[in-house]
Structure 1
Amino acid sequence: MAQKFRSLLDLCRRRGFLYQSAEIYGGLRGAYDYGPLGVELKKNILNSWWRHHVYYRDDVVALDTSILTPHSVLKASGHVDEFTDLLVDCTLTKERFRPDKAPALSTDKNGHIPITAPDKDTALAWAKSIKEQLAPNVKITVEGKRIVLYTTNICQPDKKGENGKIIFEMMDQHQKPLELLYHGYVEPNTNSPFLTDSRPFNLMFKTFLDPIDPIDRVIQTTIDHPNDSKSDIRERVDDALKPSTVYLRPETAQGVFVNFEQVVRTMKTKPPFGIAQVGKSFRNEIRLEHGIFRTPEFEQLELEYFVAPWEAKHYFKYWRKERYNWWLKHACHPENFRQRDHASDEMAHYATCCTDVEYLYPWGWGEVEGVAHRGDYDLTQHIKNTGANFEIAEETQPVSLDPVQESGEGDADLVPTQLPARYVPHVVESSCGLNRAMLAYLCDAFHQVEDGKGKPPRNVLKLDPRLAPIKCAIMPLTGKPEFNPLTQKVAKSLRRKGLFTVVESQKLKIGKRYYRHDEIGTPWCITVDYQSLEDETVTIRDRDTGNQERVHWKKVHQVVGDRLMEGEADDLLE
């Protein structure tokens, strides 16, 4: 599986889906640029989401809010105080990681601790660091890229939270043994036990909106109070910076919540209704892994659906099902998608209940979307901090109660008994990572087909045609100019229908050109040949079946359009 994933990443780089950002300058860790095909694939996924959740409904409107977010908004929402992870540094490898995701210590058959370095040179450098700084005079051996730490005893942490300890064997048997605290985990990639204590790490990117460099205020603060303690100086610095502090938003949702009253007023709407938003979010992720799966800059497809309190359970179950079905619509292998309900100890501070949609990536199950019942937490917090009027007035008995009662999923006890009644809406949120969606659908579509005769397997991306970057490739049989007029007519007819179409006129055999487009997921290749010059017919080849159909060139856009709409028609009938 790992080799197959590497082959997919190689295809993405080679064919123009993904590039390392600023690669000619050595690249930027965790940052990627989307090439010509990557842009199209991402846009097509977004468009599918938008059609299903905005255009196909009459109860959803859209917003596009600012990326820069004031401190006061994220303080009210709880992000300033809650949006942190406990992190640990490895003093040997300099890696930083979350302890709750880290493995326990591993030992060899002799009870000693093996540390695995990336290569022999690194192993020698780490061994020197251990001998001179981290554990002087401890007995160690180096075997290639493996360092072995000799131990006499390892005490595990107890259930009451007391730390364990590792007791090392010394080079000099008369020397007092060295003891190292053991918290129950090690650095995930190397098995190194040389760790700092865990400490909170804020996941938000902070910046400053100020024409005057705020660092001058920081310098002045430290000069004016030279005898303050470190904690006092930090508090004064934070106070000096607060007026100009803003954040790159960690989620798009807060922009929706602070605009709630304005949307209700301008659109003349009331619950149940949703607000959709697509946009960039930023998180100062420590572990950047698996290509675009986890990156500091990512794009979200979010829907905040506002409902009366007594309808919240009903609509949580509704959106839980609706969102899962959307993922399956475009999947080659639906069995590789699943839903997983959160346990109570893993939910966000605002959530009443939450379900993840997960995809079975080559490294294991990974979240691609969360559907959460956020209750009235967000709107209530902003009411408390601003006095905003986010309440909804019910003048008559709620007409939307019937489906809730029929399904048995509502909260009948919350239905107002006296009218008029006022309530703060509850929110059901679906939040999908567009970057992760793109990676999931690439993995799902990536096939390696054996053609036999001792040849290596060829790559085929069996993307849903609605998601495929290029819809049609037109292939004149040779490079002779007499094919050009008809080729351009076919191309123009498809482009006028909004279908991304390319002309593939390279001097390659037609079969090789087919295979090139199979590799990037093009669902239909259209061949213009000598017969086309006689009767104006062309051949349409299907990517997945290899079947070919001869039609008049004026019908090509209709044939392709009908096949693209087959899935959309099913969606509209549901």
Structure 2
Amino acid sequence: MEMEKLVSLCRRRGFLFQSSEIYGGLNGFWDYGPLGVELKRNVKEAWWRDMVSAHDDLATLPGAPSPYEMTGLDCTIIMHPQVWKVSGHFDLFADKMQTCRQCKKLVRADHVADMTRDAEWAQSFAACCFVPKPDGTMSFNSAEAISWAKTRKLGRKLAPGLALVRDPEVTMSWLAEDIENESVTPATLTLPLVLSYMATAQKNETGLQTPCPHCGGDLTEPRDFNLMFESHAGALQSDENKVFLRPETAQGIFVNFKNVIDSSRVKVPVGIAQIGKSFRNEITPRNFTFRSREFEQMEIEFFCHPSQSADWYKFWRDRRMKWWQEIGLAGERLILRDHHADELSHYSTGTADIEYAFPFLPEGEYGELEGIAHRGDFDLRSHMEGKLDPNSCPLEVQKGEDGKPLHKGSGRDLTYRDDITNERFTPHVIEPSAGADRGTLALLCEAYHEDTAPDDKGKEQTRVVMKFHPRIAPIKAAVFPLVKKDGMPEVAQDLYRALKKKFPAFYDEKGAVGRRYRRQDEAGTPYCITVDGQTLQDQTVTMRDRDTLEQVRLKLDDVVAEVERRVTGE
């Protein structure tokens, strides 16, 4: 599936729009249209029902060490700034950034290679300057490179900041010099290495430079850039009343752990769930809604006894993977990847990512949908004692130059006392953290299909169909009168109203019925019901299945129950 086709469909059919589009849009921010808001709401509601409201506190689920309780929370987006200092976000929540000395744009250091590979100017340069050889390898042609750099519609237009474009002969001389003294050989001239030479104006002074993905200019050395959005609470804008938009929902759960335990009488093991907006000042938001500056999270902080935490981690890892499969990501593009030991924080005994092969990623690469992390007691201890040094072993409070805690904790007791054993302990935390926007995007990608189906005249036509799981489809059923006469609209409208009382339904009487089918296929509506001449005779209607195109006759009085049975699977 080509990503461009999905993006076009999303805009045309009202799944997603770029925010503030009439003013040119705002990069990294997206609005959900009429169909998109229903799709995303269905994802969130399915998550909340399956994880929280329909959870059986008395049963031991398969793979769980024991029964457990679940409850919910809704915390503010702006919290006390000390929360972010103690959690580590104030000091450590940063990306390595590089600035282009020519166009002044910022790029994430870990994105530079991929962005440059995909840049229009780099692809144009490679196509012009690398010539295939009989043995299948590529040979770099320096004369073509200089010609490309001097051509107005190529180098001068596509990469005005590139050193090769600004001073072709001097820039090329550095590569020629290194080939002559055998520092490099023609056989080792890969595209990334050649581009580094092409971005270098004064090699003896600076060494090889990294080109800017945007204009080809040389980039500065990486520096830290904090990803939290800043604001101020109150009329004065000073450091004393500086606040931050939360970069994650988890910390609100940690600081309310004691409030929840004391007020709701839940007992450990217990999960506290929250769905809410988070904000990260991404420098290079990209890939549609995959990396945005404003996004929504579905998180659980699961508190358990330390001795059982490894078993609970395995339970949540497997359960969350199964959930995504159950709502429509059952194909080979969904994987569960356990982090290697060298990827883990030393206080974590396990982290796994649920990943999806998004079509905008290179073949064989996956993007994270959800992370399941064993966080130990790191967070609760930090909010009790002060910011813990993640590099200390065992964990200790990080001290400043004066020997005092760098960031003081609350001093509150966030331990838990088991009223049966009378044991007091600091619970360990298992954190399943899912992205509602990324999940919605994955479901859009998985649902997009193109196939053929007969039109009104029986001729095979290509159709676009969004094969959503019925449970998360924005519209569950559409009702059509075959024609706008003979009493058919009245029957169809009554059926539509009956369906509407149960779930989102759509009524359409405009155009040929085949065209109405196509419109609902693109919207992902799983069932279309047509009221025709036979309906008036025997009170039956036609129900068409979106995926199989199978049509069956149902009694009019049975339609609502049948659609509900198919949607819920019960």
TM-score band by shorter chain is 0.7 to 0.9
Report the alpha carbon displacement of residue 268 of structure 1 after superposing the two structures with TM. Answer: 0.8
Structure 2's unaligned 5+ residue stretches are 58-68, 118-125, 131-138, 185-193, 386-408
Report whether the alignment pairs 1:470 with 2:475: yes
Partner of 1:368: 369
Cα distance between partner residues in 2 of 1:313 and 1:170: 51
Partner of 1:251: 248
Distance 1:269 1:451, change over 3 A: closer
Q: How does 1:406-485 map to 2 (within 5 A)?
A: 420-451=422-453, 457-480=462-485, 482-485=487-490
Cα distance between partner residues in 2 of 1:56 and 1:361: 31
AA paired with 1:7?
A: K
Report the alpha carbon displacement of residue 140 of structure 1 after superposing the two structures with TM. Answer: 6.1
Report whether the alignment pairs 1:503 with 2:529: no
SS in structure 1 at match of 2:266: coil
Report the alpha carbon displacement of residue 7 of structure 1 after superposing the two structures with TM. Answer: 0.9
Cα distance between partner residues in 1 of 2:30 and 2:260: 35
Partner of 2:97: 87
Distance 1:139 1:269, change over 3 A: same
Kept in 1, the 8 Å contact 2:163–2:198? The answer is no
Cα distance between partner residues in 2 of 1:152 and 1:111: 15
Partner of 1:20: 18
AA paired with 1:434?
A: A
SS in structure 2 at match of 1:505: coil
Name whichever of 287-296 and 546-555 sits farther off.
Answer: 546-555
Report whether the alignment pairs 1:45 with 2:43: yes
SS in structure 2 at match of 1:474: strand
Distance 1:541 1:110, change over 3 A: closer
Give the count of matched residue pairs: 494
Kept in 2, the 8 Å contact 1:138–1:168? The answer is no
AA paired with 1:152?
A: E
Distance 1:459 1:166, change over 3 A: closer
Distance 1:458 1:304, change over 3 A: same
Q: How does 1:106-505 map to 2 (within 5 A)?
A: 108=130, 109-110=139-140, 123-124=155-156, 129=161, 138-139=169-170, 151-153=176-178, 179-182=205-208, 186-188=211-213, 192=216, 194-212=218-236, 214=237, 241-331=238-328, 333-347=330-344, 351-364=348-361, 365-384=366-385, 385-397=409-421, 420-451=422-453, 457-480=462-485, 482-497=487-502, 499-505=503-509
Cα distance between partner residues in 2 of 1:170 and 1:360: 36
Per-residue CA deviations over 1:99-150 (Å, capped at 9, x if unaligned) read 2344399985348696999x95583257665569x96575469xxxxxx996
Partner of 2:123: none
Distance 1:457 1:514, change over 3 A: same
Per-residue CA deviations over 1:436-490 (Å, capped at 9, x if unaligned) read 1011011111111035999763101110000100001100111227223211210
Cα distance between partner residues in 2 of 1:149 and 1:95: 26
Partner of 2:535: 532
Distance 1:324 1:204, change over 3 A: same
Kept in 1, the 8 Å contact 2:162–2:198? The answer is no
Per-residue CA deviations over 1:150-186 (Å, capped at 9, x if unaligned) read 6533879xxxxxxx99778999xxxx97553337x54
Kept in 2, the 8 Å contact 1:169–1:178? The answer is no
Distance 1:332 1:78, change over 3 A: closer
Task: Give TM-score scaled by structure 1 length.
Answer: 0.79
AA paired with 1:196?
A: T
Partner of 2:113: 103
SS in structure 2 at match of 1:334: coil
Per-residue CA deviations over 1:62-101 (Å, capped at 9, x if unaligned) read 0000001221010011110110111112334544333234
AA paired with 1:381?
A: S
Cα distance between partner residues in 2 of 1:538 and 1:35: 31
Cα distance between partner residues in 2 of 1:441 and 1:457: 22
Report whether the alignment pairs 1:69 with 2:79: yes
Cα distance between partner residues in 2 of 1:492 and 1:449: 32
Cα distance between partner residues in 2 of 1:448 and 1:323: 29
Cα distance between partner residues in 1 of 2:413 and 2:226: 31
Cα distance between partner residues in 1 of 2:145 and 2:372: 42
AA paired with 1:377?
A: F
Kept in 1, the 8 Å contact 2:159–2:214? The answer is no
Kept in 2, the 8 Å contact 1:103–1:187? The answer is no
Kept in 2, the 8 Å contact 1:169–1:177? The answer is no
Kept in 1, the 8 Å contact 2:289–2:438? The answer is yes
Kept in 2, the 8 Å contact 1:139–1:168? The answer is no
Kept in 2, the 8 Å contact 1:258–1:382? The answer is yes
Cα distance between partner residues in 2 of 1:347 and 1:504: 54
Cα distance between partner residues in 2 of 1:62 and 1:333: 28
Task: Give TM-score scaled by structure 2 length.
Answer: 0.79
Partner of 2:389: none
Cα distance between partner residues in 1 of 2:159 and 2:499: 64
AA paired with 2:113?
A: P
Per-residue CA deviations over 1:481-505 (Å, capped at 9, x if unaligned) read 72232112101211222x1011011
Partner of 1:417: none
Report the alpha carbon displacement of residue 204 of structure 1 after superposing the two structures with TM. Answer: 0.5
Cα distance between partner residues in 2 of 1:434 and 1:127: 37
Cα distance between partner residues in 1 of 2:492 and 2:461: 33
Report the alpha carbon displacement of residue 528 of structure 1 after superposing the two structures with TM. Answer: 0.8
AA paired with 2:226?
A: N
AA paired with 1:250?
A: P
Cα distance between partner residues in 2 of 1:17 and 1:445: 13
Kept in 2, the 8 Å contact 1:70–1:245? The answer is no
AA paired with 1:271?
A: V
SS in structure 2 at match of 1:33: strand
Kept in 1, the 8 Å contact 2:171–2:198? The answer is no
Per-residue CA deviations over 1:278-323 (Å, capped at 9, x if unaligned) read 0000001112111111100000000110001111111000000000
AA paired with 1:378?
A: D
Kept in 1, the 8 Å contact 2:200–2:208? The answer is no
Cα distance between partner residues in 1 of 2:152 and 2:559: 60
Kept in 2, the 8 Å contact 1:103–1:186? The answer is no
Cα distance between partner residues in 1 of 2:178 and 2:166: 16
SS in structure 2 at match of 1:449: strand
Identity of aligned residues (%): 39
SS in structure 2 at match of 1:464: coil
Kept in 1, the 8 Å contact 2:163–2:217? The answer is no
Cα distance between partner residues in 2 of 1:242 and 1:481: 73
Kept in 1, the 8 Å contact 2:300–2:432? The answer is yes
Distance 1:169 1:524, change over 3 A: closer
Partner of 1:223: none
Structure 1's unaligned 5+ residue stretches are 142-147, 157-163, 215-240, 398-419, 570-574
AA paired with 1:383?
A: M
Report whether the alignment pairs 1:522 with 2:525: yes
